[in-house]
Structures are given as C-alpha cells and as structure tokens.
Amino acid sequence: MLMTHQTAILSTFDAYLETGGDTAAEQLDQQTERQQTLVRFPYPVMLELAFPELDFANRWCWQRFGPNHGECAQKHSDYPICMTDDSHSHIGSWTNKWFVKTDYNFGFNEWYFSIPSDRDRFLEFVPSINWGENFPKQD
C-alpha cells in the first residue's frame, strides 16, 4: 500500500489574518480581493497545506468540476492536468487563491466554489488530501 504525506488541515480566513505573514496593507488588499471573489464564488474552503497537497487537490477539482477559473498555472503543478504551456485562462465554476507561506512550501490556500454541492464534495475530500503519488512516504 502506497503511503503518502498528509499535512492538510481545515482552517479559516481569520486564521490566515492572525498569522501576521502579510503586512496590514497586504491583508487589507487580500480581504478586498476575497470579497470580490466571493461575489462570483460564494462557497469558500480554507486549508493550511503543503504545495504538493495544493496541486493534488487542484487536480482532484479539475477532474470533478472542470477547469479552475482564471489564469492557468498548471504548467507549474506537481500534478498537472492542463498540458498547455503558453499563457492562457479558463472559465470554470471554481477557483483558488494562495495567501501566504507559513513555513517552507506550506501555507494557506482557499478554494472558492460557485455551486454549494461542489464545495460540499470538496469538504468530503479534504481528509483524503495528501502529497500524492509523486511523494511516496517511506515507513
């Protein structure tokens, strides 16, 4: 059985604000941008997780809900699903935002969904988020 690292935990936007990882002005900008995002994608889920878990979770979302809305960053992913290398964007029913690094390759990321049932499915998936097959854990 393949063992993988698992560090993802549910969190909140307020927990991000309490980290002090960004300046007060940067946090205000983040709050403003977040409010604008919530107009179109009103169902958020914040996690504290490692970069490989972020990519693993994004791949899962792409496979179930279609492309991530906005500028495509898949060419930098450990688990790419979009194979287009040039700069491009997608239209989708979900998106996500990296907020701040709290440790080496670890920090806060929030997913936003336009459909409440998609958010609920993602929440059910959260306990299964791990570093994936590219980072096997040796026991």
State pLDDT tens for residues 17-50: 998 878 889 989 999 999 999 999 999 999 999 9
Question: In the structure encoding, which two tokens stand for residue 122, read together?
Answer: 């993602």
End-to-end CA distance of the chain: 11
Residue 139: per-residue pLDDT: 61
* Burial degree of 100 (CB within 10 A; 0-12, 13-18, 19+): middle
Contact 68, 62 (CB under 8 A): yes
Residue 1: per-residue pLDDT: 47
Is residue 51 over pLDDT 60? yes
Contact 132, 63 (CB under 8 A): no
- C-alpha angle 35-55-136 in degrees, rounded to nearest 5: 145
Return d(Cα 53, Cα 87) in angstroms, integer.
23
Is residue 70 over pLDDT 60? yes
